[in-house]
Amino acid sequence: MTNQLKTVALLAALSGLLIAISYWVIGGTGGLIVGIGLAAVTNLFSWYQSDKIALSVYRAQPISESQAPGLYRMVQRLSQRANIPMPGVYIVPSQTANAFATGRDPEHAAVAVTEGILNILPEDELEGVIAHELTHIINRDTLTQAVAATVAGAISFLAQMVSYSLWFGGGSRDDNRGGNPLGILLTVILAPLAATIIQLAISRTREFSADSGSARLTGNPRALAQALQRLEATAKQLPLNANPAFEPLLIINPISGQFLGNLFSSHPATEARVAALLKLEHQLSTTTY
């Protein structure tokens, strides 16, 4: 229920911003109607197409068991252990090491990993990453992330169109009939920050929860801790470039380590995640023995 409330609140905030931008840019009742219509269509479309959108952004390709038997069977095995349907399995054609999950629910979900992560992680660490992504699916974090990213993408697109209009004479319209100049300026400035707003809106605690779920699913918290450290080091050198609004989907934030990245990141510090996993390892070993 908590995740559903988060989703509703996030969509309401983003939709409100989208409506406000349309009102500022177009002006009057017409702008308000356009904004409401755009928000409604974007929300409905992203709700049902969120998995396809995210996969498309990262150019993820579906794979079968014959194409990547080790990866496919790992996802299958962990899905059975978690008692959820087998998600689609995808590979992103990038040497960057990263992974994400998407989909509105466990019945419409997908797990994607990059070629890079398959090359650098040993089997136990890759298993920890896959289990982390499956936990996001179980918790329905993937819906919150993907829908929010799609709405943010619409906001960014609108800002881009506004910037074009400024270059090609949009500022010469009658201010009484057209858009508000101040609103247009604010749109151009604020819309590129939509991805950051998304990162702030989505709770950092979901990553700790997914890390914990992975550790309990695999029984090996240290493997995920080691994977996170390895992934962070490579992400700084070779980030996975795409629409910034979709960065919250990734297991490692590619802008982590920069001042603004730390301030506005959708992910907790890797050091904190590793510490939590090692603490959980101690708790699990104490309980076991």
pLDDT tens digit sequence for 122-172? 999 999 999 999 999 998 888 777 666 666 666 767 666 666 666 665 554
Vertex 251: Cα angle to 134 and 55 (nearest 5): 75
Reported as a pLDDT band with limits 50, 70 and 90, residue 26 is low
* pLDDT beyond 50 at 8: yes
* pLDDT beyond 70 at 173: no
Q: Distance (Å, rounded) from C-alpha 204 to C-alpha 281?
A: 21
* The predicted structure's pLDDT at residue 193: 67
Q: Distance (Å, rounded) from C-alpha 122 to C-alpha 15?
A: 42
User: Which of the pair, 286 or 288, is modelled with greater confidence?
Assistant: 286
- Annotated catalytic residue, options 65, 115, 125, 133: 133
Token pair belonging to 74? 């790992």
| For residues 33-59, average pLDDT | 76
* pLDDT beyond 70 at 42: no
Closest CA to 191 of 7, 11, 12, 14: 14
- Classified as helix, coil or strand, 88 is strand
Residues near 169 by beta carbon (within 8 Å), at least 6 away in sequence: none
Range of weakest confidence among 1-5, 33-37, 257-261: 257-261
Reported as a pLDDT band with limits 50, 70 and 90, residue 251 is very high
Please state, for a pLDDT cut of 90, what percent of the chain lies above it. 40
* The predicted structure's pLDDT at residue 37: 74
Closest CA to 97 of 111, 110, 115, 112: 115
* The predicted structure's pLDDT at residue 112: 97
Closest CA to 138 of 187, 88, 79: 79
- Can you give the pTM of this predicted structure? 0.75
Closest CA to 17 of 153, 181, 178, 175: 153
282 annotated binding-site participant:
no
The reply to whether 133 belongs to the active site is yes
Token pair belonging to 9? 């609140």
Q: Distance (Å, rounded) from C-alpha 86 to C-alpha 274?
A: 28
4, β-bridge pairs: none
> What radius of gyration do the chain's Cα atoms show?
20
For 109, phi and psi rounded to 5 degrees? Answer: -125, 160
| For residues 215-225, average pLDDT | 96
133 and 251 Cβ atoms separated by less than 8 Å: yes
Closest CA to 65 of 83, 43, 88, 44: 88
123 annotated binding-site participant:
no
217 and 82 Cβ atoms separated by less than 8 Å: yes
Reported as a pLDDT band with limits 50, 70 and 90, residue 268 is confident
| For residues 39-68, average pLDDT | 83
CA distances from 288 to 136, 209, 221 (A): 26, 21, 14
* The predicted structure's pLDDT at residue 84: 97
Q: What count of other Cβ atoms lies within 10 Å of the Cβ of residue 80?
A: 11
* The predicted structure's pLDDT at residue 239: 77
| Crossing angle for the helix pair 69-82 and 205-218, to the nearest 10 degrees | 100
* pLDDT beyond 60 at 114: yes
232 annotated binding-site participant:
no
CA distances from 9 to 178, 212, 223 (A): 31, 25, 35
Q: Distance (Å, rounded) from C-alpha 131 to C-alpha 134?
A: 5
Q: What count of other Cβ atoms lies within 10 Å of the Cβ of residue 139?
A: 17
